[in-house]
Amino acid sequence: MMEKDPTVERFLFNLNTLGELGEEICSPKDFNSVIKSALYMVMGSFFASKGIIFKYDPLQKIFFPVVSKGIDNMAGITLRLSDEAIGAFVGYNKPLDLKGSSPMLSYFSPVRTEFAKFGARIVVFLIVGNELIGALSINDKFSGEGYTDYDFQLLSIMSQHLSYSLHNHSLLVKLMHKYTENKELYENLRQAYYNTIHSFAAAIDAKDSYTKDHSHRVSAYCSALAREMGWAEEDIEGIRVAGLLHDIGKLAVDKTIINKSSPLTKFELGELYSHPVVGYEILSKIKFPWESIPMMTRNHHEKVDGNGYPDKLKKSEIPIGARMMSLVDAFDAMTTNRPYRSRRSFAEAINELKNHCNEQFDTDIAHTFITAVRKEVLELNSPSIILHLHELLDITAIDKLLEHFPKT
* Pair type for strands 131-138 and 96-97: unpaired
Res 8: pLDDT: 45
CB atoms within 10 A of CB 111: 18
CA distance 123 to 136: 6
User: Looking at the predicted structure, is the pLDDT value of residue 279 above 90?
Assistant: yes
Contacts 24+ apart (CB under 8 A), 270-276: 273/301, 273/309, 273/310, 274/249, 274/310, 275/247, 275/249, 275/250, 276/249, 276/300, 276/301, 276/309, 276/310
What pLDDT digit, counting tens, does each position of 176-218 carry?
778 788 888 778 877 877 888 888 888 888 877 666 789 999 9
CA distance 56 to 130: 13
Residue 83 lies in a domain: yes
Instruction: Check if the beta carbon of residue 94 is closer than 8 Å to that of residue 156.
Output: yes
Q: Which residue has the higher pLDDT, 50 or 117?
A: 50
Residue 399 lies in a domain: yes
Domain end (from 141, 175, 209):
175
Taking the chain, what is the end-to-end CA distance rounded to the nearest angstrom? 95
Instruction: Check if the beta carbon of residue 373 is closer than 8 Å to that of residue 386.
Output: yes
Res 17: pLDDT: 52
In a shared domain, residues 11 and 131: yes
User: Looking at the predicted structure, is the pLDDT value of residue 280 above 90?
Assistant: yes
Residue 62 lies in a domain: yes
CB atoms within 10 A of CB 317: 13
To the nearest whole number, what is the mean pLDDT of the chain? 83
CA distance 363 to 407: 7
User: Looking at the predicted structure, is the pLDDT value of residue 21 above 60?
Assistant: no
Residue 181 lies in a domain: no
In a shared domain, residues 94 and 241: no
In a shared domain, residues 161 and 292: no
CA distance 8 to 353: 91
Domain end (from 158, 175, 192):
175
Instruction: Check if the beta carbon of residue 319 is closer than 8 Å to that of residue 295.
Output: yes
Residue ranges making up the domain that contains 316:
200-403
In a shared domain, residues 164 and 208: no
Percent of the chain with pLDDT over 90: 29
In a shared domain, residues 61 and 144: yes
Res 181: pLDDT: 82
Residue 85 lies in a domain: yes
Please enumerate in sequence order all residues whose Cβ is within 8 A of that of 44, keeping only pairs 6 or more positions apart, or say none. 17
Residue 183 lies in a domain: no
State which of 70-74, 142-146, 274-278, 385-389 shows the largest mean pLDDT.
Answer: 274-278
Query: pTM score, two decimals?
Result: 0.61
CA distance 276 to 297: 6
Please enumerate in sequence order all residues whose Cβ is within 8 A of that of 208, keeping only pairs 6 or more positions apart, or say none. 214, 250, 258, 259
CA distance 385 to 298: 24
In a shared domain, residues 153 and 249: no
Res 386: pLDDT: 77
User: Looking at the predicted structure, is the pLDDT value of residue 49 above 80?
Assistant: yes
Res 19: pLDDT: 52
In a shared domain, residues 210 and 153: no
DSSP, residue by residue, 53-66: EEEEETTTTEEEEE
Q: Strands, DSSP E only, in 76-154?
A: 96-97, 122-128, 131-138
Instruction: Check if the beta carbon of residue 39 is closer than 8 Å to that of residue 67.
Output: yes
Rounded to 10°, the helix 320-334/346-355 angle is 140
The burial class, CB within 10 Å (0-12 / 13-18 / 19+), for 167 is: middle
CATH label of the domain that carries residue 78: 3.30.450.40
For residue 157, is it left (φ>0), alpha (ψ between -120 and 50) or beta? alpha
In a shared domain, residues 219 and 85: no
CA distance 119 to 137: 9
User: Looking at the predicted structure, is the pLDDT value of residue 294 above 50?
Assistant: yes
Strand partners, 134: 55, 126
User: Looking at the predicted structure, is the pLDDT value of residue 269 above 80?
Assistant: yes
Residue 332 lies in a domain: yes
Please enumerate in sequence order all residues whose Cβ is within 8 A of that of 381, keeping only pairs 6 or more positions apart, or say none. 224, 227, 228, 372, 375
In a shared domain, residues 228 and 134: no
229: closest CA among 93, 114, 323?
323
What is the arithmetic mean of pLDDT over 110-114?
A: 78
What pLDDT digit, counting tens, does each position of 50-71 carry?
888 888 888 888 888 888 888 8
In a shared domain, residues 208 and 294: yes
Res 296: pLDDT: 96
Residue 184 lies in a domain: no
CA distance 15 to 21: 10
In a shared domain, residues 208 and 170: no
In a shared domain, residues 84 and 211: no
CATH label of the domain that carries residue 381: 1.10.3210.10
CA distance 250 to 206: 10
Residue 61 sits at φ, ψ, to 5 deg, of: 60, 45
Q: State the pLDDT confidence band at 229, using cuts at 50, 70 and 90.
A: very high
What is the arithmetic mean of pLDDT over 341-368?
A: 91
Res 29: pLDDT: 56
Res 11: pLDDT: 46
What pLDDT digit, counting tens, does each position of 156-165 carry?
888 887 777 7
Domain end (from 175, 192, 223):
175
Rg of the chain over Cα atoms, rounded to whole angstroms, equals 37
Res 267: pLDDT: 93
Domain count, the chain: 2
For residue 390, is it left (φ>0), alpha (ψ between -120 and 50) or beta? left
Instruction: Check if the beta carbon of residue 122 is closer than 8 Å to that of residue 97.
Output: yes
